[in-house]
Each structure stands twice: as C-alpha cells, then as structure tokens.
A and B are shown apart, each in its own frame.
Chain A
Amino acid sequence: SFLRRSHSEFQEKTTEWTCRMKSKEIPTAALVLGVNVTDHDLTFRSLSEVLQNNITPYIAFLEAKDCPGVKKLMQKLMGQLMNCYVDVDSSEDEDYVQVSHNRIRCSMTSLINWYESVTKKTDSETPSKKRTSSSRHWQSPPVVVVFKDMESFSTKVLQDFIVISSQHIHELPLVLIFGIATSPMIIHSLLPHSVSSLLCIELFQSLSCKDHLSTIIDKLLLRASFPFKLGEKVLQVLINIFLYHDFSVQNFVKGFQLCIVEHFCSQPVSVLCCQLVDAKKRETTQKLLEDLHVYHENYLSVLRCLHVFTSFLPKYPLGKQIRELHCACLENQVWETEEYESSLQLARMLNKSDLVTMLQQCVEIFVSSSGKEFDNTVEKLKEFLTQFQKLEAEAFQEQDVSVSSQKELQKKTDLYHLQKTLLELKESRRYKKLTKFEMLRFDVVDYIDSLVRNYLVPANHKTLHEIAYFNTASVLREHLNAAPRIALHTALNNPYRYLKNQELKSDEGSISNKAPDICIVYKLHLECGRLINLVDWLEAFSTVVMAAEGPNADAASSDQVDDIIHARFIRAVSELELLGFIKPSKQKTDHVARLTWGGC
C-alpha cells in the first residue's frame, strides 16, 4: 500500500516537473525506510517494477560503495541507464550497438545527448509498430535515480551531482529518490542550504518493521492451510532476535526456513506433516490428523475473535499484537492466567458501541472461517446484536432512577442526616438491579469465555502435535545467535566435542597429553594471571607432553626432543595470539599479556 501511495505521488510529481522548470528544482522523494537495512533491497526492487511498468523505463540504482567520487557515480549512472534502454527495446531494435563504457566520456553532456537520441527515437516511431511496453510511458519519461543508502554517501559527491544536474534540468528531467534509514534530518546534515534549495523534497514513510513482522506471522503461522507450525519457545526465540537485535524481516524468514529444515531432518514423525488431502492415504492415523486439522481451524478463528476483544481494552493485558496473544495461548491454558482474568473484568466494563463493533467483527471472522462448527456461534452472536439494538429503544426508561437519588443529596441537611442518606445510597447501590444492558454484557463476556475454554487449548495437549510443531529452541538459538567466543572456548577446552576422538574424552580439570598442542597450551594459560612468563609456560608444556613418554625417555635424546617441543610450543602460542587470547606485552620482556577472562 505504501508503494501504491508513493507511486501515485510519483506520477503527480513527474507531471509537475514541467512546472518546476521555472523554479529549477529537482523533484525528490525522501523515503524513510527504517533501520532494517537488509530489507530495503526488496522494497527497492518492487518500487522499480512499479515504476518500470507505469512511468518510465529509465531507472538507475546507486550505492555508496560504488561511488567514491563524482566520476564513478556518472559512470555507474550512465552504464545503468543505457542498459535499461537496451533491455526494453532489444527485441525491436536490432541495429542498436552497445557502446563500450571506456569510450564514452562520462559527463553530463553525453548523458543529455543520449537522452535526446532516445526520446527522439520513440517519438519518430511509426504507429504501426506495436510497442506495448512503452505505450504506458509518456512523451519524455523522467529519469529516476535512486540513492539506495543515503547515509553512506559522502557529502561532496552528492552536492556535486545535485549541482550539476540542476544546471541541466531542462534538458534532462531527473527525479531523485533518497533511501533513508534513520531520519530525514540526514538530508539537512548532508546537504548545505544552497544545495538543498535546488531540490523539491517530499517525504514518504514506509510501514514500521513491527507491522511487517505481524503481516508475515499472520500469513505464515496463523493460517490453517500450512501444516507446519512453530512451538511457543521457538517462536519466542525468533521474535526475540527480531526485536532485540535487528529489525530484519529477512533474518526472521531465514530463521523460519531453518526451523523447517531442522524439523524435517531430525523429527521422524514429521513425515506425516502434510496437507490434509495427502493424509487421507494413511488410514490409521487419519482420524487423529483430521482432528488436528479441525482443531487448528477452530483455534485460529477463536484466537482472532479473542484478539478483537482484547485489543480494545486499555493497557492491553494480553498484549497488543495478535502474535503476543498467540504465544500466550501456546504456552499454557490461557484461561488460567491472571492477565486473562483482568481482561475479562475490563471487558465487563466496556461501553455499548465498542461491544457492538467487536461483536460485528467477530461475526465476520466466524462467517469467513471454513469450519462448520461455527454456525451456531454465528447465530448466537447475531442474537446478541439484535438484543443490543432492542435495548436502545428501552434506554430512556432507565434514566429516571438515577436522577432521583441525585436530587436527594442536594437537599440541605445537617451532617448526621447527610451521613445517613449516603450510607443508605451505598446499601441500595449494592443491591441495585442490573440494567438490561449490563446483563447482556455479562452474557456476551461469558459466552466468549466459554468459546475460549473450548477451543483455545494449547497445542501440546492435543495428540500428535509433534508432527506439526517444532519446539527445539536450543538448536535454533545455537544456529541463529552465534557466540563465537563460546564456541572457541568449548573447542579448545574440550576437543572431544568436535573431534569425536575416543581418546580425548577426559574430565574438565585434567589436561590430557594426547590432546592437540593448542588445547594443552590453552588450558595451561587459563591457570595463569594477567602476565604469563613464556619460559614457565614452556616448562609446563614440555612436562605435560613428556609425561606421555613415561619414564622410558632417553636422557641422551632430551636435547633434540626439547627442540621439537620448543617448536611445537612456539607454533601453539602464535596460534593463540592469532585467535586473540594473548598479545605480546611491552611491560616485561618474555611475557605475554592475557586478554580474556572467564568463560568468554
């Protein structure tokens, strides 16, 4: 929807550029896309498709790393624009020769000449030729230049480019798009006033990343058509990575793909995780699978209904987004949680118009769901709605009761009488008859409660849930949230883990002398303080290594062995230095400083 809005703005913008001629401003769009830079690519690709189909074939994308100077920028720009032209018309224009980049002077005049030749060509085309692609294009389509990552561009390059293009705005209709990740103030910090006055900037904002995430979860997980589902812990891990580390939707999708792979590789029952149609071939489990499928459908509809209810409540006791509600339901029986209680209480205090809207939305949800069980529910809800409407007619009669009690209070009395009347009022209020509206409200809330208890059972209470649900969060966390230092430490401390050599199996404390050199050296250095004496270290190392030989070691060959051990030691120490655990110390000669402490 953002794209549609921006593209319609674009059309307006490009129609206006002719008017802009008198004020010599380049129309510019500043797109604020959000901090998740990895997702910008997708946005730009879809934007370019929309533009190519509707407005102009001349689109060029520029990235900061390719444009250290204005010359490279012009080269890249011209290369892309000329290729655009070839792609569009390659089928019809056989004698167009691709000019080699080296021979073109990359200056503005050659770009202008190219543009004139291209537009003249389209003008002079005879109408008999079919040009379906460019029939939607205009007489002189604007050239769109997209700066994909605005923050990384150097200011000199941008300023020079804008100054040059604004000189030739009449001959080359240019439209600029700035892809901004943080905030539009970056424009003011990158461009001085004299340059930004040459631009006519309009701001467009894309949806926030959290909205994107909700859409994705909605489409992937909350649909009955996909048999694969995520367990609560796994979903929590993925969402945490999204919210805590990077707002990247791409990473979330990749994590989801990893879950699918893991599930189908490691879980043997996952063979049965498939669409319901295929499941009909396996008779023994067919009934159970069908049950599971039906459970899913019902679950989803009731979940949405509950979300509709709770999203209206102040302070969102059960979470604002439907994904939070889904997580809560997956975890345990949601009707036993405190938040559910408080949300029911709040729901009992809702006013009439809110209730009516919510009921209508629920009716829509149940009507659109594919399960057959909800016809009764729909009937009941519609009944509630008609009762609400009937109440309106009777509303006037209720007002008189409350008015009389107020009048009593206003009469002049002394303190004792006032106290008495107030106490009486309080007593009467306790036994006050509930109005019809309140009774109806109670009924509605109770009904919703019963629906919840029936259908929102957490998934691990259903049989065969392991087929569809993937719940080993630890595996996922290891793969997605890598901890390189911990991995290194494990490898060096406990080489059995990775080498799977039976001889290396040892306890934590002892140093096996069959381990690789670097492991021995590492374990020895863990026992030292901040500065390690190399000679002592060498002694310890050779002691450990020599212990293998036993008491049969020859005294005569001790010198040669020493040299070999010395060489091995030096190699292991330099490997440790490369890994970053030690560094040569300037404070004492022949000492190295230790750089890491603790487990990581």
Chain B
Amino acid sequence: VFPMKNVYSCYSCFTGSFRQQFSFPSIFIYGHTSSGKTYVMQTLLNTLQLPHVFVNCVEYFTSRLLLEEILMQLQSCCSETEQTSHVHCDTFNDFVRLFKQAVVSEELEDQTLYIVLDRAEQLREMEANILPAFLRLQELTDRNVTVVLLSEIVWELFRPNTGCFEPFTLYFPDYSIGHLQKILSQNHPPEYSVDFYAAYINILLGVFYMVCRDLKELQHLAALNFSKYCEPVVRGEANERDTRKLWKNIEPHLKKAMHTVYLREISSSQWERLQRDDGEPGQLKGLSAHTHVELPYYSKFLLIAAYLASYNPVRTDKRFFLKHHGKIRKTNFMKKHEKTSNHLLGPKPFPLDRLLAILYSIVDNRVAPTANIFSQITSLVTLQLLSMVGHNDQLDGPRYKCTVSLDFIRAVAR
C-alpha cells in the first residue's frame, strides 16, 4: 500500500547487501511525521528476516543506556540461549570492542547486520563522538554492519562541525490523499464490506484533510467515529448503500468532533461516552473553557502593573501615573519607530522598582510594603505568569517580564 517508490528504494539498499559484500555503512532516512518510516523499516526487516537491532533514541536517552541496549539486543539476536546478561559499556571504545566480540557467530558471517536508530535527532544531544562514530561503525569494527538513522529532521541540521562520513540519504514523502484513502480503508472491521468502509473514509477525509494529514491521527478519528456512522444501518433506517442518508447523519457529528476531540479539548473516552448517551456536547466544557484563574486582590494588581511595565515604554510612565505631568515631546527617532506596536514585539523586561512604583500608583488605597507583597511576586513567577530575566544570583536588581496576554489581563482586570 505504501508508495512503492519508497519501498523499492529501501529494498534496493538492502538487497545491495549480497553475500559477502558490504553494503552502505550508513543510511539516513527522513520524512515528516507518520510518513511510514518506522513501519516500513520494521516490516521490511521482519519480512526479509534480516538480523537487526531496533532502538528508540528517546527512550535510551544517555549514550551508556543506548550502547548497552544495542549490545543486549545483539546478544538475544545472535545467541541461541535465552538469557541476556547485563553488559557494562561506558564509552564507544568499549562498545566497538564488545561489538566485535558479539558478532562472532556463523549466521552473521555472510549477512549484514542492521542497527536501526529511531528518533535519531536525540543523538545530537549526546556526546559529540556518538553520531560520527555510528556513521563509521562499519569501518571501526570491520564487520558487515549498516547503521540506519530515522529522523524527521533533514540531514543538514545533523552534520557535525568537524565533518563526518556522509550517509546515504533517503526521503520519504508525505502521503497524498489517495494514498491515505487506500491505507485507511485497509483497516475495515470484518462485519462490514470494503466499499462501505471506503465510503466512510471518503467522507472523513473530506472533512479532516484540510486540517490534518497525520496518518495516526486520522486512524484514531476513524476508529472513534465509525460506530456513529454505522448507527443508521444498525437501527435499520438505511442500508449500506444509502450514502446520502449516512452522510447527513455523520456530517454534523464530524464537524463537532473537529472542534472537540481533534483539538484535545475533551478526551476520547468522554467523546465515546457522549456518543453512547447521545447527549449534547455543548454541555461538556472543553479544556479551553476553563481559562479563568482566580487571583487574590493584590496579585491581580501586581499582574496588571507588570503588564503595564512590560508593554509601556519607560518615558510614558511619568505621564500616566503622576498627577502633574508635562508633555512629552516626540523626537524623530520615536516617530520612525512608532508603527510597530509593542504588543507585537513581546514583553520587555523591567526592574523590580518600576513594578512597585506602578503598583503603588494604581492601587487606590495605600499599600504597605509588607513581605507578603514581595512573596506574591515570586509566586507569580512560579505560576509562570511572570518570568525572571537575568541571572538568578542578581539579588539587588531582579528583572522580570510579564508573560500573559492582553485577553488574560482584561479578564483579570474585571
């Protein structure tokens, strides 16, 4: 079902490893999310029964874990016995040595061993020698081994500064809508015919293709909504070929799903419960309906003062907050830069004193500078409503900036 071009190119890489001939030392496969890279690799390797080791780099996040995992999988792959003893491997040097020892069995003499590293972009976060060493593994160990790297990021961002052995890059393009249709139609449940399910997929793609091309998401949505689609058939109101009736039934439902389940406003279990009870989804408030945060009185004022301090330039302070202010003369510089609204530029940092000055002027009654006010400022930082700019050690002049949006402030100011 997959775009045959991809499969063919993969296959040709692998069958390049004819007996006693070394294949490419390293292959780099990249493509967008859900373009089938992992799936194709695993199916190919399993179907062709090639000896391989499959490791996910996010799961084994340090180099030590990664190397030890590869060695352990190697043990279970090559040896006939079941037990896998714990291997200790700290550096790549040890890895090479242990690898050479491990790959000494008759089966692997004439076959290429494949090491597949999924989510290979994590390799960049590990020590600097891991990535180049993996690319040259064939040369270092002098064995018939190929390293395949799967990633969503292009190779140009991987290339280390010191240069390395360039792998063979392979691109997996995204699925087109026809491909998606074919793939999704394959998963039809056995009690319904293929055509019925294909029509359903057609409708689903018509609604969701514009916003989502991710295969996994679409599969998830298809599974969730299929029972609702079948309802008229189950209830006996329509038969399988009555496309118009089925469409009328499912279309508003899918539109609702787009606003709720797809955006993860409500969870899929809540969605299924809704479908069973046939209730109105309007009653169930999604995650984004709960944006209001209750803040104590002075904290509200602190937050508003912080917002004003972040978004108003310093020269306007005197004008807004003092009773007797003079006029501000606009210089040429300011006229030129007036166009960019401060809202677009983002919050600017301000020192603590300015915050307190603005606070004292916007609160109606006198505010005593108690320790509680100061600790509220730090609490706002912990709640990520303000953020601290600058070094943590700078005790005498802490600077902050306000991280909430205008809508939030408006809601708070009410």
Contacts and interface: CB of A to CB of B under 8 A. Distances in A.
Given A200-B268, A246-B296, A107 B65 contact: yes
B68 A105 contact: yes
B56 interface: yes
B329 to A, nearest CB: 25
B21 interface: no
B371 A193 contact: no
B79 interface: no
Contacts of B157: none
Contact of B382 (A37, A71, A184, A200): A37
A483 interface: yes
Contact of A482 (B68, B292, B371): B371
A197 B59 contact: no
A309 interface: no
Interface in A142-184: 149, 151-152, 160, 163-164, 167, 181-184
B58 A152 contact: no
B61 A70 contact: yes
Given A241-B372, A483-B371, A188 B268 contact: no
A23 B223 contact: yes
A163 B152 CA distance: 15
Contact of B268 (A25, A160, A205): A25
B344 interface: no
B270 A202 contact: yes
Interface stretch (A28-36, A127-135, A369-377, A467-475): A28-36
B298 A34 contact: no
Contact of A247 (B33, B62, B69, B294): B294
Contact of B291 (A181, A183, A242, A484): A183
A167 B56 contact: yes
A160 B372 contact: no
Interface in B343-368: 368
B294 A208 contact: yes
Interface in B373-412: 373, 375-376, 379, 382-385, 396
Contacts of B61: 70-71, 160
Contact of A30 (B58, B287, B371, B373): B287
A238 B409 CA distance: 27
B65 to A, nearest CB: 5
Contacts of B328: none
Given A183-B291, A183-B293, A205-B290, A484 B384 contact: no
Given A107-B65, A203-B287, A23 B268 contact: yes
A32 B287 CA distance: 11
A201 B264 contact: yes
B293 A244 contact: no
A13 interface: yes
Interface residues of A, number: 62
Contact of A182 (B269, B368, B383): B383
Contacts of A205: 290
A245 interface: yes
B247 interface: no
Contact of B287 (A109, A185, A200): A185
A383 to B, nearest CB: 44
B267 interface: yes
B371 A35 contact: no
A481 interface: yes
Interface string B217-237: 100100100000000000000
Interface in B249-307: 264, 266-270, 285, 287-288, 290-299
Given A71-B62, A200-B267, A202-B267, A481 B372 contact: yes
Interface string A587-600: 00000000000001
Contacts of A185: 287-288, 290-291
A196 interface: yes
A231 interface: no
A457 B61 CA distance: 70
B287 A187 contact: yes
Interface string A197-234: 10111110100110000000000000000000000000
A539 interface: no
Interface in B59-86: 59-62, 65, 68-69, 86
B163 interface: no
Given A246-B296, A482-B371, A37 B264 contact: no
Interface in A236-259: 241-247
Given A164-B59, A483-B369, A580 B396 contact: yes
Which residue of A27, A37, A194, A199 has the most chain B CB atoms within 10 A of its CB atom?
A: A194
Given A22-B223, A200-B267, A202-B267, A481 B370 contact: yes
Contacts of B285: 203
Contacts of A482: 370-372
A196 B264 contact: yes
Contact of B294 (A20, A108, A209): A209
A481 B385 CA distance: 24
Nearest to B59: A164
A239 to B, nearest CB: 11
A292 to B, nearest CB: 35
A202 B33 CA distance: 26
A562 interface: no
Contacts of B266: 202
B255 to A, nearest CB: 19
A320 interface: no
B398 to A, nearest CB: 13
A202 B269 contact: yes
B372 A245 contact: yes
Contacts of A241: 372
A243 to B, nearest CB: 6
B296 A245 contact: yes
Contact of B383 (A27, A35, A580): A35
A187 B379 CA distance: 19
B298 A186 contact: no
A411 B69 CA distance: 99
B371 A183 contact: no
Contacts of B59: 107-108, 164, 167
A483 B370 contact: yes
A193 B261 CA distance: 12
Nearest to B60: A107
Contact of A193 (B264, B287, B291, B396): B264
Most buried by B among A27, A107, A242: A107
A151 B368 CA distance: 30
Nearest to B353: A595
Contacts of A167: 56, 59
A13 B269 contact: yes
B269 A32 contact: no
Nearest to A481: B370
Nearest to A196: B264
Contacts of A149: 382
A583 interface: yes
A208 B69 CA distance: 49
B93 to A, nearest CB: 20
Contacts of B291: 183, 185
A16 interface: yes
Contacts of A27: 269
A485 interface: yes
A164 B58 contact: yes
Given A35-B296, A196-B264, A245-B297, 4 more contacts: A13-B269, A183-B293, A241-B372, A246-B296
Interface of A: 13, 16, 20, 22-23, 25, 27-28, 30, 32, 34-35, 37, 70-71, 105, 107-109, 149, 151-152, 160, 163-164, 167, 181-188, 193-194, 196-197, 199-203, 205, 208-209, 241-247, 481-486, 580, 583, 600
10 contacts: A35-B383, A164-B59, A181-B383, A182-B383, A185-B287, A187-B287, A188-B287, A200-B267, A202-B267, A202-B270
8 tightest A-B CB contacts, nearest first:
A244-B297, A184-B287, A245-B372, A482-B371, A200-B267, A481-B370, A151-B384, A483-B370
